[in-house]
Structure 1
């Protein structure tokens, strides 16, 4: 596949979301293709439940398909093998956020993750694979207690690495308290960076790893960027074990992605050009690896108060391009602010056959309203009314197919009013539906 296909505009999708259910894979692929994306990042939340038909449909429509998985844990555990509990990270103060954090120090977890990802890319025709969020928790974790791994796995691994016990993080009177024994703490910081990069390198490049199974597969690494403090690069390295330069050296990826960290993406009034503040993260990588493409990731709607509009997203993309990023992506397609704000709009009309016309919309439409024939009026290109007494309809995702024996052979216009979108399938609940008020020209028969 051409290099341009895996660079340029990209979007993350989570097919477990209601927006993607109860519709054909082809309708999802057409919607994403018509939205202008070149590549799709399929968020694999469970490696054993990937929609292979969707992957194939995306590829049929000329989209480059990444498998994107998480490195430091999982939202569900019922697919993990017996004894997986031994893989857990231990944190100073475990958060109750529904996420199970798994330790890169666990050989069992590493082996399982490697074998699972190999099976994934051997079973499904993904074009690329990326392991995001392989970092340790958490930003500001030493203050909040969401900090780890500090459990038995980390203790054993650190003793092997340094010959010492880990620093003390709770008892301030201890001689080993991390603010007192700086040598021990600095060794601990290096150990955590080493652990993250070792984990990723063994997944990708190790014996029985991903590159051995699928050497042609594109590989992307992910690190985090944040606009905070005087030395955000050093803070990310210290608190979360992320050193992007060392990660790239260990994994040798085809692409590196800077992921917007939560202190930034959660901001309600985050400027669309905020990536200009990520210069300290991007420029050292460009100096070290001038041939390596960089990408930028953002979040467009995980919280009600920070849903980003289409205009905001366009400005973000323009900024990324102006700053020299080869690609950009966003989490997640179906949760952006425009989904809640913009009405359904017809974007393409196709003659499937003499008696069938498919109309594609810019977003998913409500099947019940889309199949009501009174929402459609037809006229010639000269404005004369066209009557279709036998008109019938069938909706699928973002499209509706119209059937009639009386469609003109020449081009004609369809006026579409009252077709609703799908608030019941959006992430943020309690929102009102938008209704179409648009027209589109149906091409003539060839």
Structure 2
């Protein structure tokens, strides 16, 4: 499948080679900027007229699951347009994939309406011989959407790489979910390390940005960002760190936050060694304005520092050549509520029962923030002896009703064999967030 998105662009032979490689490997490639907006607008107008004409004809529309239809397009202008069916970029990719004569067999449209859902799991094309015999690519669908592919309009979803698997093996991988991810990030220089931590993705001006840290085990982590035209990736690293590793030798857990005025900020965790004014040495929270989505403004400010015993990571820890009573605040997640900024964070040691989620409050996105009142422990999520250990690194999402907020976080199983994803309702009382969790039994979401 070849997926094309908006605009107009020129591609080199090297680009076409890369698209063909992605197609053979993943079963899909995304080619941005192939079509001019004028052409897409012409298709949209002509399609709307054709759809309503077919709607009134017996058999004019073929049902496609719930609230979805399929219809073939007539071989007339603007549908029969050489810029579409003989587009030089698309033809260049096809020649690299097929290596022999090929023909166009159909021109048609899938039409999802409000209330539609994903189609049942299926192959785009029937196998040449049987479901157990894998063949090279022999048929392709070329798609270009007439709407933005967003969560609201229904994101595109496919299982990468399953085109080279027998049916049963492919379905097993689909059920496990692993093939819906693939290799999202085209990694930077291997010399930077092979430990990639805590990615977060932001969407701005038709571009997706993946913020992450990379380092060697738990040392020398630096913040970086990679870009992609689609949420599935692959994401390409921009080639330089967001924060200079010479002045900041350890930075993790980037969290992009967009304020109401459209300005983006990046919250993250970094190391501090001073102990003035009652703060503890260790990892703590920092924020800077994003000048662009790939460059910080250099106006950074401290968000919160550790001040309480429950935030201790390890006493007598050797760090930077000296021994410290090391404390940790990490995993920032910012939510604006009733005009105030709430920076949720996780404190303590991630694999112990003292780890939990707390928050700081500010009137301005850049601070100052205060987490006063948490001296005895985290106020949002904390361990439940014998059931849940070390809940933390939360995000906040909306429920099916579009209003109710939920805290999504990870926590250890009691036998410490794995961390699992958990979800509990976020509650606001007197401008203070809290949670009835962590829960350890199945819950029902009924408010929709």
TM > 0.5: no
Higher helix content, 1 or 2: 1
Q: Which has the higher contact order (CA 8 A, sep 6+)?
A: 1
Task: Return the TM-score normalized by structure 2.
Answer: 0.30
